[in-house]
């Protein structure tokens, strides 16, 4: 089951990569990665691996339903920002942030993750296809301050060497995951 899901995700990656060779148009929310949420147990492990501390600024690039942003603000007391293109996922995230009373420390920018300013970030979390990681690499190399950390879920940054990698054999639902920690 897991292998079939992983294969589907990778096949999507390849077909989406070829789409990116077409002339530039408006960004689409599935070009860099389709919506595929990280299980909550893995979200926690990503933030732990990233060493997120209270008051630090974190960004989730392609924040989906906002689950990473919410946990970063609620459990880790960080200042958390998601970036998401999909209208209904942004709406869902903002409603949850409001219901949980987290509006002073969590928010979601409705926009293209390739067009944002990450220069204040202490930690970034990323769950994008390889093509997404490749496109965001030069932006992060230019913008990130020294010592900023990046935690990538399942797909590595080809241009960088991780300082730590972690395998999760079973997330409780029979799926395995790989996490990669990078430091600028
Ligand atoms: C694999 S999901 C990860 C969601 C969330 N980070 C998580 O781990 O649960 C990738 C997300 O990136 C969003 N996305 C894809 N391309 C984007 C872009 N150019 N700008 C902003 N969001 C984008 C998708 O809509 C999707 O919600």
Q: Count CB-CB contacts under 10 A for residue 3.
A: 9
How confident is the model at residue 29, as a pLDDT?
61
As given in the structure block, the two tokens for residue 27 are 């960004």
Residue whose CB lies within 8 A of the most ligand 1 atoms, among 66, 85, 90, for a mutation test = 85
Range(s) of the domain holding residue 119: 2-183
Ligand 1 atom nearest the C-alpha of 114 is 19
pLDDT band of residue 26 (cuts 50, 70, 90) is: low
Lining residues, ligand 1, CB within 6 Å = 27, 29, 31-33, 35-38, 60, 62-64, 67-68, 83-86, 89, 112-114, 127
Q: How far is the C-alpha of 71 from the C-alpha of 37, rounded, in Å?
A: 14
DSSP label at 6?
Answer: H
How confident is the model at residue 28, as a pLDDT?
66
As given in the structure block, the two tokens for residue 128 are 């994008």
Cβ 156 vs Cβ 128: under 8 Å: no
Cβ 179 vs Cβ 68: under 8 Å: no
The pLDDT tens digits of the residues spanning 99-154 come to 999 999 999 999 999 999 999 999 999 999 999 999 999 999 999 999 999 999 99
Which helix (H) or strand (E) segment is 138 a member of? helix 130-143
How confident is the model at residue 155, as a pLDDT?
98
Distance 89 CA to ligand 1 centre (A): 9
Distance 171 CA to ligand 1 centre (A): 20
Cβ 93 vs Cβ 116: under 8 Å: no
Ligand 1 atom nearest the C-alpha of 83 is 21
Residue burial 144-153, b: 16+ Cβ < 10 Å; e: rest: beeebbbbbb
How confident is the model at residue 142, as a pLDDT?
98
DSSP label at 65?
Answer: T
Q: Dihedrals φ, ψ of 169, to 5°?
A: -70, -40
Residues 36-65, mean pLDDT to the nearest whole number: 97
Of all protein residues, whose CA lies closest to atom 17 belonging to ligand 1?
A: 29
Q: How many domains does the chain have?
A: 1
How confident is the model at residue 16, as a pLDDT?
45
Q: How far is the C-alpha of 160 from the C-alpha of 40, rounded, in Å?
A: 26
Ligand 1 atom nearest the C-alpha of 37 is 9
Of all protein residues, whose CA lies closest to atom 19 belonging to ligand 1?
A: 112
pTM, to two decimals: 0.88
Q: How far is the C-alpha of 158 from the C-alpha of 65, rounded, in Å?
A: 27
As given in the structure block, the two tokens for residue 142 are 């230019």
Of all protein residues, whose CA lies closest to atom 26 belonging to ligand 1?
A: 35
Q: How far is the C-alpha of 121 from the C-alpha of 164, rounded, in Å?
A: 19
Residue burial 40-74, b: 16+ Cβ < 10 Å; e: rest: eebbebbbebbebeeebbbbbbbbbbbbbbbbbbb
Residues 53-76, mean pLDDT to the nearest whole number: 98
Of all protein residues, whose CA lies closest to atom 6 belonging to ligand 1?
A: 63
pLDDT at 31 over 90: no
- Supply the CATH number for residue 144's domain: 3.40.50.150
Residues 163-169, mean pLDDT to the nearest whole number: 97
């Amino acid at each position: 089951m897991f292998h079939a899901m992983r294969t589907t995700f990778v096949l999507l990656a390849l077909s989406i990569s070829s789409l990116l060779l077409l002339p530039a148009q408006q960004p689409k929310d599935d070009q860099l990665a389709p919506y595929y949420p990280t299980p909550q147990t893995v979200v926690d492990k990503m933030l732990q691996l990233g060493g997120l501390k209270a008051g630090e600024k974190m960004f989730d690039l392609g924040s989906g339903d906002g689950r990473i942003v919410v946990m970063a603000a609620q459990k880790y007391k960080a200042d958390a920002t998601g970036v998401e293109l999909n209208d209904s996922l942004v709406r869902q995230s903002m409603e949850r942030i409001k219901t949980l009373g987290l509006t002073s420390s969590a928010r979601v920018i409705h926009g293209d993750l390739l067009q944002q300013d990450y220069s204040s970030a202490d930690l970034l979390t990323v769950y994008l296809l390889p093509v997404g990681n490749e496109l965001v690499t030069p932006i992060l190399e230019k913008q990130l301050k020294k010592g900023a950390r990046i935690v990538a879920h399942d797909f590595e940054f080809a241009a960088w060497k991780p300082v730590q990698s972690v395998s999760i054999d079973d997330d409780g639902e029979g799926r395995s995951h790989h996490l990669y920690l990078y430091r600028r």
